[in-house]
Amino acid sequence: MPHHRPPGILLRTARCLAFMLLLGAHPATQAGLAIALNSADGTVSLIDTDSYQVTGKVNVCKEPHHLMPTPDDKSLVVACAAANQLVFFDPLTGQEQKRVRNISDPYQLGYSPNRKWFVATSLRLDRVDIYDPTDFSLIARLPAPKTPSHLAFDDASQFVFVTLQDSNEVMAISLPTQKIAWVMPVATTPAGIVMSPDNRYLLVASMGEGVVEVIEWRSRQSIRKVPTGKAAHNLQPKGDGRHFYVSNRTVDGSISLLDTQTMTVVEQYEVPGGPDDMTVRADGKELWATARFARKVQVVDLVNKRLKLSIPVGSSPHGVFFLNHAGLR
């Protein structure tokens, strides 16, 4: 004899299955977590993006300096410079996924657009390492005097460009040959570097001159220097294929909005405490920035164009990420 379920049980089961399918189809609806990296503490702070409350703190390693998502957004990678390892976290839960050891002095990180190369700068050891991202085996190790800092790729994954903070230069490395292609002088103390959305220009933030320098990288020519603010440090795309936010890392501090079509600053926000790395909400309404000198994450209201609130975190916060972020171009 067949077993007949009561209609009420069948209805509840159907509703449960529908709810589970809805969650599976929209994983971003669960993404209410921000992860802030505290370099001096060797920890990450977990923040609820709805309540803006810190919900936990996790020990990571000694001297974690930068973080970045994997290309598929399924992991958040933390670079542990003094511990010589990478730590992967689940960006949904903040739980550790795995550790990759024997990554020498990783400071800044990057996956090439074609996902064939993983590059890490070694700021203290004056070199750049190129790894196979499938198993993180070392492919090449190149000298990079002096003080290699941030990096950027061209769209075709032919080059990685590295700022050399203490020699005031940008270096281009050919990824197919793993050789230094060229080195050129730039404005003093270069830090953040990004490729413009049209793949034509390198945009280099100069801490020493308070400008973003625009470089035509194919001809190796400096086109102009756009004043943004004292100690211009890093750049973050707005996600509209046109604008970048520029953090001006001083105690008073500010963040500028750079229009890459006109190469002019079109907006400026007061963000005290040494604004550094940034992330933009997917809806474009908020910009989150770590304040290195204030032990805080600063949340900027981009609609009202003012600082909305400050979230206390750990010492020397050096990066913040959440899954519900705007596009990275």
| Whole-number percent of the chain with pLDDT over 70 | 91
pTM: 0.90
Classified as helix, coil or strand, 229 is coil
pLDDT of residue 245: 98
Return the residue matching tokens 């209410």: 32
62 preceded by a cis bond (ω within 30 of 0): no
Amino acid at 81: A
User: Rg of the Cα trace of the chain?
Assistant: 21
Please determine, for residue 205, whether its predicted confidence score (pLDDT) is greater than 70: yes
HSE on the CB side for 86, CA within 13 Å?
25
pLDDT of residue 145: 87
Phi/psi of residue 83, each to 5°? -95, -5
pLDDT of residue 43: 97
Please determine, for residue 29, whether its predicted confidence score (pLDDT) is greater than 50: no
pLDDT of residue 84: 97
Q: Quick one: average pLDDT of 264-291? A: 98
Please determine, for residue 15, whether its predicted confidence score (pLDDT) is greater than 90: no
pLDDT in tens, 128-169: 999 999 999 999 999 998 999 999 999 999 999 999 999 999
Return the residue matching tokens 């089961």: 13
Distance separating alpha carbons of residues 227 and 248, to the nearest angstrom: 10
Q: Give me 195's structure tokens.
A: 């490729």
* Total Cβ atoms within 10 A of residue 230: 17
Distance separating alpha carbons of residues 153 and 173, to the nearest angstrom: 10
Name the average pLDDT for the chain.
Answer: 92
pLDDT in tens, 53-84: 999 999 999 999 999 999 999 999 999 999 99
State the Cα torsion 245-286-198-117 to the nearest 10°.
90
CA distances 25 to 29, 76, 138, 254, 281, Å, are 9, 21, 37, 39, 20
Q: Quick one: average pLDDT of 170-185? A: 98
Q: How confident is the model at residue 328 (pLDDT cuts 50, 70, 90)?
A: confident
CB 255 within 8 A of CB 271: yes
Please determine, for residue 6, whether its predicted confidence score (pLDDT) is greater than 90: no
Q: How confident is the model at residue 111 (pLDDT cuts 50, 70, 90)?
A: very high
Q: How confident is the model at residue 241 (pLDDT cuts 50, 70, 90)?
A: very high
HSE on the CB side for 287, CA within 13 Å?
31
